[in-house]
């Protein structure tokens, strides 16, 4: 791997302040962030009441749950005290954008020009839009069902959930908030709200652009090529964006913090995003929304499902992660109070890992398969660390 430049990956304008948890003094900023989420849901989905009503209702519940879980302290919000950080946030996003984003957008633009210039051809644009909307709602329904099955198992085994977490850094929080059912429901609602907000850009694109059935072969070829190109840059893009999510206080509160203000369960997971963070990443980062709807459906459905599985850090609860996964990935530590790793935290080039366990990652570039190298270069991260050994011991103790 090429030597990473810390001047880029750790560049920050103004004040650097590392954060991993919310505090009661964040209340006003949190409410403002929730109001932005509600506005996105309302204006993106408009008359789609099956999404807008639950989505805005969850927004209200999240404010109530913040008060229950953290309390309230009224103070001048950060966004008023340091409004320049909002400008910096957009600058960071633009600086971190990769070529694949612009290529995907250009391909979709070409498709729309093709439809516009050849109205006499059988594009079936409206029919294609209907198909794309069906794919959207099928994806949302399938993932919500999967998440709900996991919720049932969490609530059914809530005593087990509490017992496991009381042996981790979550003991301090749970000692103050003893009702584990509230924490489980909060995690579930976090996943639902994050998912709804993340999907808003795709829903907007479906309803704005024109697709052509004649363009499908060319679009898929170009999209798949772009996808593999982006995967090569994915870890470096994620590291930079993720680092900012913890070291820019405004980004933590408004974008990434909600991903950590929850128990470390698969219930929360939507591609590693906080509520607003998913919307930002899909509009100024990931090229997904510009792909052909069939590919978007596949990527979102498999990606979110895999993220739910990989974020299940409470052993013994559905969905069940394998021990082998935790031997090759250390992102779990990031949800147990550690800042690092900022990357995807994977290390597949270990002598004891058999080739059969690497089968699903053979198409991945080395930058992703051994993403932990970026942390090792930039933060002197040590793969063989005591925190991971403790987590593996906890996993062995509770995972049947």
Chain segment 374-384, per-residue pLDDT in tens: 999 999 999 99
Most trustworthy range by pLDDT among 207-221, 341-355, 356-370: 207-221
Q: Which residue has the higher pLDDT, 47 or 298?
A: 298
366 pLDDT band, cuts 50/70/90, is confident
Residue 311 token pair: 């974020």
26-61 burial, b at 16+ Cβ within 10 Å, e below that, comes to bbbbbbbbbebbbebbeebbeebeebbebbbebbee
Neighbouring C-alpha atoms within 13 Å toward the C-beta of 282: 29
Strand partners for 329: 346
Task: Please give the structure tokens belonging to residue 334.
Answer: 């990031």
Question: For residues 99 and 175, which has the higher predicted lDDT (pLDDT)?
Answer: 99
- Nearest CA to 198 out of 120, 277, 125, 263 is that of 277
- Kindly state the tokens that stand for 26: 């964040």
Measure Cα distances from 38 to 199, 363, 384 in Å: 14, 39, 43
Tens of pLDDT, residue by residue over 60-108, are: 999 999 999 999 999 999 999 999 999 999 999 999 999 999 999 999 9
Mention every residue, 6+ apart, whose C-beta is less than 8 A from residue 319: 150, 266, 308, 309, 312
pLDDT of residue 12: 96
Mean pLDDT of 303-307: 96
Distance separating alpha carbons of residues 352 and 355, to the nearest angstrom: 9
Largest CA-CA distance found in the chain, in angstroms, rounded: 68
Average of pLDDT values for 126-151? 98
Query: With the CA atoms of 196, 197, 198 and 203 taken in that order, what torsion angle do they form, in degrees rounded to the nearest 10?
Result: 80
Q: According to the model, what pLDDT value does residue 321 have?
A: 86
pTM of the model: 0.96
What share of the chain in percent tops pLDDT 70? 98
Beta bridge partners of 337: none
pLDDT of residue 2: 66
Beta bridge partners of 58: none
Where does the pLDDT of residue 373 fall: very low under 50, low under 70, confident under 90, or very high at 90 and above?
Answer: very high
**Arithmetic mean of pLDDT, 312-317:** 96
Q: Which ranges in the chain belong to alpha helices (H)?
A: 6-9, 27-45, 49-70, 78-81, 84-95, 99-117, 125-156, 158-165, 171-176, 180-208, 216-247, 249-251, 275-283, 293-310, 323-328, 366-369, 372-379, 386-398
Contact yes or no for 59/219 (Cβ under 8 A): no
Whether the predicted pLDDT of 176 surpasses 90: no
Residue 104's pLDDT is 98
């Amino acid at each position: 791997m090429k030597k990473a430049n810390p001047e880029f990956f750790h560049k920050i304008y103004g004040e650097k302040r590392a954060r991993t948890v919310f505090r009661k003094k964040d209340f006003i900023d949190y409410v403002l962030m929730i109001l932005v989420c509600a506005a996105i849901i309302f204006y993106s989905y408009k008359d789609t009441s099956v999404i807008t009503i639950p989505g805005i209702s969850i927004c209200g519940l999240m404010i109530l749950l913040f008060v229950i879980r953290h309390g309230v302290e009224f103070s001048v919000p950060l966004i008023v005290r340091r409004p320049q950080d909002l400008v910096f946030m957009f600058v960071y996003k633009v600086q971190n954008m990769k070529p694949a984003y612009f290529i995907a957008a250009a391909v979709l633009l070409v498709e729309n020009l093709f439809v516009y210039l050849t109205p006499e051809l059988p594009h079936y644009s409206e029919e294609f839009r209907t198909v794309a909307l069906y794919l959207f709602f099928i994806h949302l329904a399938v993932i919500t069902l999967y998440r709900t099955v996991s919720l049932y198992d969490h609530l059914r085994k809530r005593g087990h959930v509490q017992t496991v977490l009381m042996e981790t850094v979550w003991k301090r929080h749970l000692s103050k908030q003893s009702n584990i059912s509230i924490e489980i429901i909060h995690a579930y609602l976090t996943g639902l709200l994050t998912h709804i907000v993340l999907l808003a850009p795709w829903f907007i694109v479906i309803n704005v652009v024109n697709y052509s059935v004649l363009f499908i072969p060319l679009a898929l070829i170009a999209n798949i090529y772009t996808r593999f190109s982006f995967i090569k840059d994915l870890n470096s893009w994620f590291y930079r964006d993720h680092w900012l999510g913890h070291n820019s206080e405004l980004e933590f509160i408004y974008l990434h913090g909600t991903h950590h203000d929850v128990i470390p369960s698969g219930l929360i997971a939507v591609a590693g995003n906080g509520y607003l963070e998913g919307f930002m990443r899909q509009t100024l980062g990931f090229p997904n929304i510009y792909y052909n709807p069939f590919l978007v459906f596949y990527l979102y459905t498999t990606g979110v499902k895999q993220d739910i599985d990989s974020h299940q850090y409470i052993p013994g609860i559905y969905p069940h992660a394998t021990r082998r996964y935790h031997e090759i990935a250390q992102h779990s530590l990031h949800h147990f109070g550690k800042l690092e790793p900022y990357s995807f935290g994977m290390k597949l080039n270990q002598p004891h890992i058999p080739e059969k366990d690497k089968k699903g990652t053979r198409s991945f570039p080395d930058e992703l398969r051994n993403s932990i190298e970026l942390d090792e270069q930039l933060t002197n991260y040590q793969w063989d660390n005591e925190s991971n050994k403790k987590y593996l011991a906890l996993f062995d103790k509770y995972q049947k």
